[in-house]
């Protein structure tokens, strides 16, 4: 009993350190969240932490900030744009990468090794190296400022990592699977669709959440290829513009930021397991 008490007390500093660190990490987000529900007058007059002085006066909270940013400032439109960009820009690269990863893992062809080494090198080529020539081609083809343009751009940029991660998984499948199926007369395509894809579901889930979050949160690619026109601009571009023009209206900035964070956070909390697996499978992209 006493021994237990002693060990409990000796671990107090440990708990103190961990809880403090966790609090420091989460406090800024809580501040953002609470502020987004406070009236402009309250936000200008006092800090968000003062709401804890009257924890039960719910009347001081309002949804007006959300109404204002979503309808009037156009964050609602930006949310739809982000969705329209992110969903195809997640599905297309994963589809193309699955085929490539399967070929790299289980087919023999000349130049396979060289191509793969190039791919691994491309994993860390900074996007900045590609922006100007691609933009020029896009301008010529009329793809700049359009959704298809940015779908393809995100596909090209996402491919190295997605192929790499899927390759790691698919090449680890037991080779007996492939031998016995091809003896049964299955074509490579049948093996791919009926065996490899279903078995790769965990890996596919990892790369899907990876690519989804990457595209959803991207600022640079959208800034360059889409620009700030309200018709096409995603959340990140619109919000970074708001920071300039509504610099002191914190109730609006925080509401807009929370709109952009809500879906990724839900996905993250629901699929954290797959996200972590994707990172552990060898993430080198930033």
Partner 1 sequence: MTKSDNYIKIFYISQLTERIVIAMRTKKITPWLYIGPATFLLFFFLVYPSINTAYISFFNYNSEKFVGIKNYLYCFTNEIMLNSFRNNTLWVIVFVPLTVFLGLIIAVLADRVKYESIVKSVIFMPMAISFVGAGVIWKFVYAYRPASAAQTGILNAFRSFLNSEPLPWLIEKPWLNNLCLIMVGVWIWTGFCMVILSASYKGIPRELLEAARVDGATEFKIFWKIILPLMKPTLAVVATTMTINVLKVFDIVYVMTNGNFNTEVIANRMYKEMFLFRNFGRASAIAVILLVLIIPMIVINIQRFREQEAIR
Q: Report CA torsion sign: 253, 255, 260, 261.
A: positive
CB of 81 to partner 1, least distance (A): 14
Query: In which element (H, E) is residue 167 found?
Result: helix 147-170
Beta bridge partners of 38: 61
When binding is defined by CB under 8 A, the residue of 48, 79, 151, 274 that contacts partner 1 is 48
CB of 199 to partner 1, least distance (A): 17
CB of 89 to partner 1, least distance (A): 12
Q: How many CB atoms lie within 10 A of CB 112?
A: 13
Nearer to partner 1 among residue 123 and residue 199 (C-beta): 123
d(CA 143, CA 170): 34
d(CA 142, CA 89): 19
CB of 73 to partner 1, least distance (A): 14
Pattern 198-227, partner 1, x by CB under 8 A: ---------------x--xxxxx--xx---
CB of 115 to partner 1, least distance (A): 7
When binding is defined by CB under 8 A, the residue of 37, 66, 79, 102 that contacts partner 1 is 102
Cα 66 to the center of its chain, rounded Å: 23
What tokens appear for 264 in the block? 């990724």
Answer yes or no whether residue 66 interacts with partner 1 by CB under 8 A.
no
CB of 113 to partner 1, least distance (A): 9
Nearer to partner 1 among residue 181 and residue 240 (C-beta): 240
CB of 243 to partner 1, least distance (A): 6
Answer yes or no whether residue 26 interacts with partner 1 by CB under 8 A.
yes
When binding is defined by CB under 8 A, the residue of 81, 239, 249, 274 that contacts partner 1 is 239
Answer yes or no whether residue 69 interacts with partner 1 by CB under 8 A.
no
d(CA 89, CA 155): 6
When binding is defined by CB under 8 A, the residue of 8, 11, 63, 229 that contacts partner 1 is 11
Answer yes or no whether residue 54 interacts with partner 1 by CB under 8 A.
no
Q: Which residues contact 39 (CB under 8 A, 6 or more apart)?
A: 60, 62, 64, 251
Return the range that interacts with partner 1 (CB under 8 A); candidates 1-9, 64-72, 73-81, 105-113.
105-113
SS3 per-residue string spanning 68-86: HHHHHCCHHHHHHHHHHHH
Pattern 247-276, partner 1, x by CB under 8 A: ---x--xx-xx--xx--xx-xxx--x--xx
Q: What is the CA radius of gyration of the chain?
A: 24
Residues in 128-187 at the binding interface with partner 1, rule: CB under 8 A? 128-134, 152-153, 155-157, 159-160, 163
Q: 3-state class of 234 per DSSP?
A: coil
Q: How many CB atoms lie within 10 A of CB 285?
A: 14
Instruction: Report the candidate in 214, 203, 220, 201 with the shortest Cα–Cα distance to residue 282.
Output: 203
Answer yes or no whether residue 121 interacts with partner 1 by CB under 8 A.
yes
Please, are residues 93 and 211 in contact by the beta-carbon 8 Å criterion? Answer: yes
Nearer to partner 1 among residue 199 and residue 263 (C-beta): 263
């Amino acid at each position: 009993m006493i021994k237990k008490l002693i060990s409990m007390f000796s671990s107090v500093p440990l708990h103190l350190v961990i809880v403090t660190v966790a609090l420091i990490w989460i406090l800024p987000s809580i501040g953002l969240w609470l502020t987004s529900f406070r009236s402009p007058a309250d936000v200008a007059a006092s800090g968000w932490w003062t709401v804890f002085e009257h924890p039960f006066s719910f009347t001081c909270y309002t949804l007006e900030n959300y109404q204002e940013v979503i309808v009037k400032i156009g964050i609602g439109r930006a949310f739809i744009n982000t969705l329209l960009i992110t969903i195809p820009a997640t599905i297309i690269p994963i589809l193309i990468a699955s085929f490539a990863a399967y070929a790299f893992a289980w087919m023999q062809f000349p130049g396979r090794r060289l191509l793969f080494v190039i791919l691994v090198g491309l994993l860390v080529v900074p996007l900045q190296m590609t922006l100007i020539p691609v933009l020029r081609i896009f301008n010529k083809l009329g793809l700049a400022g359009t959704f298809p343009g940015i779908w393809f751009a995100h596909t090209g940029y996402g491919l190295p990592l997605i192929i790499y991660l899927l390759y790691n998984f698919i090449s680890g499948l037991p080779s007996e699977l492939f031998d016995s199926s091809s003896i049964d007369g299955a074509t490579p395509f049948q093996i791919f669709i009926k065996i490899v894809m279903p078995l790769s579901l965990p890996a596919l889930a990892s790369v899907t959440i990876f690519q989804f979050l990457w595209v959803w949160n991207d600022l640079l690619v959208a800034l360059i290829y889409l620009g700030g026109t309200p018709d096409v601009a995603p959340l990140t571009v619109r919000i970074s513009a708001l920071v300039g023009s509504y610099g002191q209206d914190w109730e609006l900035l925080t509401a807009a930021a929370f709109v952009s964070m809500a879906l990724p956070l839900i996905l993250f909390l629901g699929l954290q397991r797959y996200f972590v697996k994707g990172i552990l499978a060898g993430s080198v992209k930033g």
